[in-house]
Amino acid sequence: MKLGVDGRSGISRNITSWRSAADPSPGAYTFKLVSGGLPEFFLFRGLSKTYASGPWNGAELTGVPNLKSRDFIFTVVSNPDETHYTYYVSDPSVLSRFVLNGTMGQVQRFTWHRGGGWSGFWHFPLDPCDSYARCGAFGYCDVGQSPLCSCLPGFQPRSPQRWSVGDGTGGCARTTNLSCGAGDGFWTVSRMKLPEATSATVHAGMTMDRCRQVCLGNCSCRAYAAADVSGGINRGCVIWAVDLIDMRQYSEVVQDVYIRLAQSEVDALTAAANRRSHVVLVIALVAAISGVLLLGAFAFGCLCFWRKKAAPAGRDNELPLRATKLKLRRDDQGFSDENKMSSEEDDLDLRLFDLAVILAATDNFAADSKIGQGGFGPVYLGRLEDGQEVAVKRLSRKSAQGVEEFKNEVKLIAKLQHRNLVRLLGCCIDGDERMLVYEFMHNNSLDTFIFGDEEKRKLLRWKTRFEIIAGIARGLLYLHEDSRLRIIHRDMKESNVLLDRNMIPKISDFGIARMFGGDQTTAYTLKAWTLWKEGRSVELLDEAMVGSSCDHSQVRRCIQVALLCVDMHPRNRPLMSSIVMMLATENATLPEPNEPGGNIGRSTSDGELSQTQKNGMMFVERTLF
């Protein structure tokens, strides 16, 4: 398959979405390759750009660095005669489809499973940072930080007020103006998606040193980078004489961009970097010395232990207050090939607490230590000997699991690590007692706010509420699609969303339903559906929010997504990846929800699969309930 422009014939090969699942006439979305500068793919909704793949740098599209697979070979050809993208499947037995989903506003790749059925291989946009120019000119997006937008070094927000509420579209402005001459320098930003380069200038045979000089000689030059990094060698040069937009930073290596700054800014940034390096060096030295001392202490302790073991036995010691550790080997047992991780990964340590430690921490499960009551048992605030505060969930005795079976379940839960999941610290097993020890969340659970008195509800402004909604969605996306275990929560409710000091939501009780029966159900109401049909859905907004500043279109979008999630038929419910994108994309065209059905809350086994067919595409995925 080829997508692109043939300069000789003038033919442009693009993909256009259908108007609807039943109407194959041209829809609102078009996906096409734009040449000029460095080639780049754009997703258009009408004439507006909603997503950009990042420029092609000879090795990859810099906005999709994870688009690498031994199953597919991707290439972009760019020369005076033609510019096109093409791919082929390295394994002839693999069937693949490339789809533009006009309902979700996504480009999707599917592969056919040998067992039957199409499965999603990848899709874009993937996360909030994939929204085109999310952080404006001279800003960049990082999905791993909060807020998502930051200014490039040497720049500051144009509108601090809008920036403070999470709106980075206004972009950033220089802290110090350029002198247009020898008084300017460059600062390197790494792991970057290259700025949009359709209006940039490419010099194919130019060295990086020469590129720097050319940029300094042009008062309009904002930045430069290597045009081709294939094979790990920098070739050619691309120069931006326009504002830098649509940048984002990744955790993996993508490419360096050299940003032009006033020399005074470069000097200040260099001095700050040197100070940080000095601090790191001091910390490393202290750590090394401490390590030597600890090693000596450990050797001395071992010597004392063996001497004591060799001595005649005396009276039995009293039960010590201690917490041992279970070694968690990250094995691949029970996981699909696509989720396998290297056997060289570090082990995880999970603390196995003695009952005596838990009793001391919770004051023997005193009533005033109780901070909650969940469907699986009460929760207590505990304080360990070192002063650390923990939450102890004392599980009910409904589980028929044995000790080893319970340990295995706990080990699996402990491997789930995400910013929006409560971290499991350890467990306690004593006879029939089963307890889980979590990090303590200082702002308690979400239900204490949204079902509290008016003053407490007012503390949750709409901006905070929307961030909590988006955080919950990202946590569920990790559990459903991105984690190694792919757990379905099955007991998602307000009391299972905890809030840390910064009001960041963290999902709790994930995986626990596996230890007990699947009979927990959730009642539902038709009130939201009735108000939605009548065009009065905003009336669902908390009365405590009336008169405060909130985005009503955002409120309606959240309600619409929620109604889509409670469709009577599991096959019609969106995947969590689609939900995250629906919430993050303001101009997405969302499908109209159907009336909620009578099976909402019906539990399904973890192995139950649903098949969803929309816009001519088949999804094979676990159901949400």
Hey, which residues are catalytic here?
A: 491
Cα separation, 133 vs 256, in Å, equals 19
Closest listed residue to residue 134, CA positions, set 142, 144, 145: 142
Q: Quick one: DSSP state of residue 481?
A: I
Distance between CA atoms of residues 116 and 523, nearest Å: 35
Question: What is the DSSP code string of 448-463?
Answer: HHHTS-HHHHHTS-HH
> What is the per-residue DSSP string for 114-139?
TTSSEEEEEEES-SGGGSTTTT-TTE
DSSP for 183-241 reads: TEEEEEE-SBPPPP-TTSEEETT--HHHHHHHHHT-TT--EEE-SB-GGG--BSEEEE-
Integer CA distances (angstroms), 509 to 405, 424, 574, in order? 18, 10, 23
* Sign of the torsion angle spanned by Cα atoms 440, 443, 447, 451: positive
Residues 6+ apart with CB under 8 A from 238: 37, 38, 55, 194, 197, 200, 201, 202, 203, 224, 225, 226, 227
Side chain identity at 400, as an amino acid letter? Answer: A
Structure tokens at 150: 């930051």
520 HSE (CA, 13 A, CB side):
17
434: which strand partners? 429
- C-alpha dihedral, 328 to 331 to 336 to 338, nearest 10°: 100
> How would you list the strands of the sheet with 72-78, edge to edge?
12-13, 2-6, 82-89, 72-78
* Beta-sheet pairing, 257-262 with 184-189: antiparallel
